[in-house]
Structure 1
Amino acid sequence: MAVAPRRPSWPQRLVPYVFIAVIMLVDTVTPRDVTFSSTLSVAPALAALLTRSLWQTITAALVAALVSGASYIYAHDLAGDVEVASLGAILAVTVVSCVSVGLVGRQSRMLANVRSVAEAAQHVVLRDVPPELDQVRTAVAYRAAAAEARIGGDLYEALSTRFGDRLLIGDVRGKGLPAVEAAADVLGVFREAAHTEPDLSRVADRMHAMLARRPVRDEEFVTAVLLSVDPTRPTVQVVNCGHPPPLLMRDGRVDVLAPVPPGPPLGLFDLADPPAAAAPAWAGFAPGDTLLLYTDGTTEARDNAGEFFDLAGFLTGRPPTSPADLTAQILTGLATHAGNRLDDDVALLVVRRKPYVPPPTAAS
């Protein structure tokens, strides 16, 4: 569905007529043999620039022509060729402005259609994450960077499997449809391998192998974090493929989950020695604990002074809240910090551990 064009505000519509009124006032306070009617041709140009409307442009041109004619009648000493030149200028500027409005409107409609198709494609790739899995509650938030028709390769998924709940967040290097294609391929492999591979590193290996089989592109890789929540113990397994590490929120404190050096990104495992995914790490994840998985567009958002968004500092000391409320708070904090100056897409995946039932102990 195409995006409706933004309607001009009333102040924008009034600017051309305020300009015409100013010219009329100047003509009345200057000698009658002096006229500024030739400048009235600016009025239709202002209407076209501010409203992007053919009717507003034509209306402003007609009013300007009427005022020009009134100025000619008022100034008896002016030659007729001066009025002809003024009307000719108004007509010429009006024609050029109308053509410009038509071309810009056509390009805007084409851009809106392209953006809507691209967003639809991205929404197909990024399916809704269920708010309730077997061991965790989740919430997802996504905010696109403020750029024309740019779509990114941020990706996320959350699944319940026989090995426990498995979660993924990642970021494809680059933008546009190639990034969405890579994200779709990575997610497709994860959605299948998460159900069949007991070893989380093997899931990452299969995602890497898929990227290696894709047509060669300029330095294409994907940073990602994979998690597997143990269904019987208060722990979580982590495989970090060159991605910002998750944050663990517990009792008002915020710590990096499993602070170990990340492995190479998906698609660049061959740079490791030996070539492989990072070794999995284990960390505590008790009932009531909250994990925040995010892409680097969150922590790299800058304010007017060029300072990065301090995500851990923003979260420290916050009272417990639902995953959905927490994502809303983070997006609000980002908007306060960076406004509309996001240089990269932002994806957030909040995971809250639900109570679990320990396995029964073996009878002695």
Structure 2
Amino acid sequence: MTEKRVPPGGRLLSWMPGAVMAVVAVVDVAAGPGVGLLPLVSLGPAFSGLVGGWRRTAATGAVALLLCVGLGLYNGQFEELRGFAALGSVAGVTGVGVAAAVTRSRRETELADVRSIAEVAQRVLLRPVPLTAGPLRVAVSYTSAVAEARIGGDLYEVVASPHGVRVIVGDVQGKGLAAVETAAVVLGAFREAAHDEPDLVGLGERLERSVARELEGEKFVTAILAEIGSGHEAVFLNYGHPAPMRLRRDGTADFPQPPSYALPLGLGGNGSDGPKPYLVSFGPGEQLLLYTDGVTEARDEHDAFYPLADRAHLLREPDPHGALDALREDVVRHAAGPPHDDAAMLLLRYHGHGMGKSVPIG
């Protein structure tokens, strides 16, 4: 079992076992044998078991035992039982600390393996989007609420299909591995249907059937589907998802709303009507930002939501990836702390090229 490096933030704790034993030794020598500080030497291996591996804890325990013997002989405490009691205390705490360090190390290794597998699964699931697709330049940003695991429940995809560039951005109910499993179902169905279905409504209906068949209980996915063809317009289907933001050439921004709101994917089997498609003008020099509610619902220290419309000017950066990075960093600054929800953003920038050749995904 390998020894783990102590992170920079834990350097103070890494020095604490030796510092505690040194302080106990100095005070014990200065105060004399009547004070009875000898058992406090066991604090050294106790602290070491909290921050170090089992080898380091055992080494600290050995030093503590030698220190205990030296102080006990210096103070003449082995002529009484309390000297041996102190020695037993140090040995016992060292044994417990070694056992705790071994257990912690195993759990950290198992957790690291799980996180690594989850990260690989997430990379396979959310494949890199094309840099260009038809007349569009594309950039994406993903921030997981589970930062250490780099895994979450938001999803996105861009497919250059024979029927136009088709896009999905969605938000799975829940987080973690269960959310990734649900996202895999949605993205698998979308990638297949995006090539086969001639219109966006048919794609949405097929996606709803696939999701309803695979999901169990009350699980659902909010999502927005978009299709950008050869004309200067985009078609949207909104399944209970935040409306996209359109940034016009003059720098003004708006949020085109659907004619009516529909239930999220997975809940459409309750007899309600599906979403109605709606057209939004979208031409050269304009941008569309599709995002999840982890962006707009990010709160600052005053409990105020992130003002996305007021930050639209950040997307004027010539490079779409740089523009999206600036917006993501601004969201993080606004939240002033770790994110409470996953946040995905997909930026579509109309650069004016024809539909000719598209860069496929994969």
User: CA separation in 1, counterparts of 2:188 and 2:314?
Assistant: 38
Question: How many Å apart are 1:356 and its aligned residue?
Answer: 4.2
Question: How many Å apart are 1:202 and its aligned residue?
Answer: 1.4
Question: How many Å apart are 1:98 and its aligned residue?
Answer: 0.7
TM-score (norm 1): 0.88
Structure 2 equivalent of residue 240 of structure 1: 238
Structure 1 equivalent of residue 217 of structure 2: 218
User: CA separation in 2, counterparts of 1:224 and 1:65?
Assistant: 63
Structure 2 equivalent of residue 362 of structure 1: none
> Per-residue displacement from partner, 1:172-227 (whole Å, max 9, x unpaired)?
21234443232222212222222232321111110001122226x22011111011
Alignment check: 8 A CA contact 1:291 1:350 kept: yes
> Per-residue displacement from partner, 1:63-100 (whole Å, max 9, x unpaired)?
22222223223324674422211111111011111111
Deviates further, 238-247 or 80-89: 80-89
Structure 2 equivalent of residue 253 of structure 1: 252
Matches within 5 A, 1:44-59: 44-51=45-52, 53-59=53-59
- Pick from 322, 325, 347: which aligns with 1:325? 322
Alignment check: 8 A CA contact 2:208 2:266 kept: yes
Matches within 5 A, 1:253-292: 253-258=252-257, 260-271=259-270, 275-292=272-289
Structure 1 equivalent of residue 360 of structure 2: none
Question: How many Å apart are 1:6 and its aligned residue?
Answer: 5.4
Structure 2 equivalent of residue 120 of structure 1: 120
> Per-residue displacement from partner, 1:18-56 (whole Å, max 9, x unpaired)?
1112112222332442231111111111011123x1122
Alignment check: 8 A CA contact 1:40 1:64 kept: yes
Deviates further, 239-248 or 23-32: 23-32
Counterpart residue identity of residue 336, structure 1? R
Matches within 5 A, 1:306-317: 306-316=303-313
User: CA separation in 2, counterparts of 1:5 and 1:120?
Assistant: 23
Alignment check: 8 A CA contact 1:144 1:344 kept: yes
User: CA separation in 2, counterparts of 1:58 and 1:204?
Assistant: 62
Give the SS at the match of 1:174: coil
Count of matched residue positions in the alignment of Structure 1 and Structure 2: 350
- Pick from 289, 295, 299: which aligns with 1:298? 295
Give the SS at the match of 2:173: strand
Structure 1 equivalent of residue 358 of structure 2: none
Deviates further, 194-203 or 69-78: 69-78
Give the SS at the match of 2:153: strand
TM-score (norm 2): 0.88
Give the SS at the match of 2:146: coil
Deviates further, 315-324 or 242-251: 315-324
Matches within 5 A, 1:106-255: 106-146=106-146, 151-214=151-214, 217-231=216-230, 233-250=231-248, 251-255=250-254
User: CA separation in 2, counterparts of 1:223 and 1:5?
Assistant: 41
Question: How many Å apart are 1:261 and its aligned residue?
Answer: 3.6
Structure 1 equivalent of residue 81 of structure 2: 81
Alignment check: 8 A CA contact 1:252 1:317 kept: no
5+ residue gaps in structure 1?
Answer: 359-364
Matches within 5 A, 1:328-339: 328-339=325-336
Aligned-residue sequence identity (percent) comes to 37
Alignment check: 8 A CA contact 1:223 1:265 kept: yes
5+ residue gaps in structure 2?
Answer: 356-362
Alignment check: 8 A CA contact 1:142 1:348 kept: yes
Structure 1 equivalent of residue 43 of structure 2: 42
Question: How many Å apart are 1:159 and its aligned residue?
Answer: 1.3
